[in-house]
Amino acid sequence: MEEMKRYVIKRADALAPERLARYRAELNDEQFAAVTSPPGAALVVAGAGSGKTRVITYRVAYLVEQGVAPARVMLATFTNRAAREMLRRVEALTGGDVRRVWGGTFHRIANLTLRRHAESLGYQANYTILDSEDAKDFLSTCVDEAGIDTKARRFPKAEVLGDIISFANNTDRPIEETVARNYPHFELLSQQIKRVDAIYMERKRERNVMDYDDLLLNWKRLLLEKPDIANLYADQFQHILVDEYQDTNKLQAEIIDLLAVRHRNVMVVGDDAQSIFAWRGAEFANIYEFPKRYPEARVFRLETNYRSTPEILALANVSIASNRKQFPKILKSARPSKGMNPALVPARDADQQAAFIASRILELRDENVPLEEVAVLYRSHYHSLELQLELTRRGIPYKVHSGVRFFEQAHIKDVVSYLRIIVNPRDELAWKRVLRLVPQVGPATANRIWEQLSTAPDPLALVRRASFQAAPRRGSGWTEFLALIENLVRDDARQNPAKQIEIILERGYSDYLAQNYENAEARREDLQQLARYSARYNSTEEFLGELALLATERYGAPQPVMGEDVVMGGEEDELLTLSSVHQAKGLEWRVVFIIWAADGKFPSPRSLRDPEGEEEERRLWYVALTRAGDGLYITYPLMITDFNRQTVLQRPSRFITEVPPELFDIWTLEEEIDTASTSTIEDKTDEPSGYLN
């Protein structure tokens, strides 16, 4: 057979001069260099606020205007909305139709690919994608099929099982290693979890369904096991762009490398200094070691920041410089100085910290900084407890970004319900809630038990009797529940809410969290903080009464104490934002408060168990600093109260002490009695303030 001849179509190298002039006019020099770089691998290290999205958008437009067919461009983002917005802007820039660009999340592009080739992997093209609820139900069925006695030993619930399997898949780690590293309390069950996973995988194939992770797993399988199909896509995707590359996991990076094997025109954009999601499987090595996997890669740095003042960036640059593993860069502000350093504000305790923030926010509002341009950031959700109570007292409206109301979280309501039945043994809702936490007690049994308790002169005495007729007959769960009640009504605990919460955690509830929640440790921290907060009250009744009063204070009808969406008190469209730093990534505000900046709080002690943990925590700190545009306030309490009502001194975060003190303006707080101390957003005269020496 005669040898095939290869013919290469040559295209013009450059854009028309007038179009190139437009690129020069609309991009800074750093952005222009990245956008117009020649074919080949490229790493764009995009500092915070440096116009990363602009670079990706203009790069796609540049490629299309260079003559690259849209269908030969792949743009992987972390939300489909981001991809749609980028491609809409590309269309506006080029005036052409770019709908054939393969744009979207990794999972969307995987689905487009697998619909064409599912049969080669043993699926039919009309496979169903399971949502998270369906996947949980499916896993529960597989646990039953595996013959596992979940009552003999606490076995992870379907939600936790799903998280274990998902983390193992996305990080390319065996189940045993994943359980040992992230879920050590289930280590003895590793082989049973593996068996459930094997059944789960097989049943999904039989029923022609895939879960969210299967889309990526099967996409990778397709590229590894089917060379003809792999070659088709390796040839098709002449240019691959990946947004937020620092947040990719190992599986996603491997897929990109397999697709880029022929042309190697892969441009990844991200910021190694903002890699903060290792806990959910993101792999820092993907971006850090990209130049090793692509030795020919050009590295572009975007260091001009359009968001923050020079003083805020000076602190951020020095802070992140302490990390050993990074691509060094110095962010330079495109904005003039406002003559104000970030403020470092030590407070006496958590209450004074909250009072200062509320007062300063009201002052800022009088200085024409709207509430929606202000955010309070924290390392962990429970850090906002005192502040949310203070904001509620003052009628300052706010939202918790992508969070839930502190007292509306299931674990908080569970524990508070135990306290409620001790204080008021006739509290029907609280009884039914705690009864359903007992193994083998469902809604019907809980209702039957309550019917007997409701007519008793002393429900607590009745439920503890050996002759109690409605008690479940099997298992040790009821015995453990009765032992817990006995401990809660002991003389040394009955009027001590902190002690009671500690007892609830020790006598079974910590195990319940581990069995039922992937983020069990964070929920345990919430409850420990609630116990510390409750230690200031003289009785459990006083503590519960305060919470109930706060729920109705200022507002017509009873409302939850803490607001995920809106706690009313001002203009409906003007809301202060409260957010964990993780949830704040990618967002910005004119003024940012970072609270609980104390060692053991930020960085969190949990994160420091891992050798890489401190560097990731410093990156999280850097993300927090760089959310601020004009003003930055960093606060921490000098003292906290522990479970035993003992005062414990707090040290400032190591991230504060490792930078020169001249980078801060240090504020000293004083207080005075003010008859207007209950000022709200509507009545802002004579609010109490933090004063400077």
| CA 634, chain centre distance (Å) | 21
What six digits make up the tokens of 117? 């080739």
The Cα–Cα gap between 22 and 229 comes to 40
Residue 274 bears catalytic tag: yes
53 part of the active site: yes
Q: Report whether 255 contacts 222 (CB < 8 A).
A: no
Q: How far apart are CA 203 and CA 640, in angstroms?
A: 52
Q: Are 66 and 324 in contact (CB under 8 A)?
A: no
Choosing from 30, 31, 52, 272, which is the catalytic residue? 52
Beta-carbon contacts of 478 under 8 Å, excluding residues fewer than 6 positions away, are: 438, 440, 441, 471, 472
What are φ and ψ of residue 394, in 5° steps?
-90, -5
Catalytic residue among 91, 197, 244, 525: 244
Residue type, 457: P
In 3D, which of 630, 578, 581 has the Cα closest to residue 603? Answer: 581
**Where does 625-688 show beta strands of DSSP type E?**
628-637, 639-641, 647-649, 665-666
CA 521 to chain centre: 14
DSSP assignment string, 197-255: HHHHHHHHHHTTEE-HHHHHHHHHHHHHH-HHHHHHHHHH-SEEEESSGGG-BHHHHHH
Three state DSSP letters for 253-268: HHHHHHHCCCCCCEEE
Is residue 81 part of the annotated active site? The answer reads no
Q: Are 331 and 50 in contact (CB under 8 A)?
A: yes
Q: Report CA 239 to chain centroid distance, whole Å.
A: 31
DSSP assignments along 523-583, one per residue: HHHHHHHHHHHHTTSSSHHHHHHHHHHHHHTTSSS---SS-SS---SS-TT--EEEEEHHH
- Tokens matching residue 461: 């005495």
Question: Kindly report the CA angle at 392 between 389 and 395, in degrees rounded to 5?
Answer: 155
674 is catalytic: no
SS3 breakdown of the chain: % helix, strand, coil, rounded to 5? Answer: 50, 10, 40
Catalytic residue among 301, 627, 635, 650: 627
Reply yes or no: is the peptide bond before residue 611 cis, omega within 30 of 0: no
Is residue 353 within 8 Å of residue 570, measured between CB atoms? no
> Is 243 among the catalytic positions?
yes
Task: Name the helix (H) or strand (E) containing 329.
Answer: none
- Beta strand 589-594 pairing with 628-637: parallel
Place of tokens 């050996």: 466
Q: Which of 274, 309, 326, 409 is catalytic?
A: 274
**Rounded CA separation 555/505 (Å):** 33
Q: Name the burial class of residue 564, with classes exposed (0-12), middle (13-18) and buried (19+) by CB atoms within 10 angstroms of its CB.
A: middle
Three-class SS of residue 386? Answer: helix
647 is catalytic: no
Radius of gyration of the chain (CA): 29
Active-site entry in 36, 53, 236, 528: 53
Catalytic residues: 52-53, 243-244, 274, 627
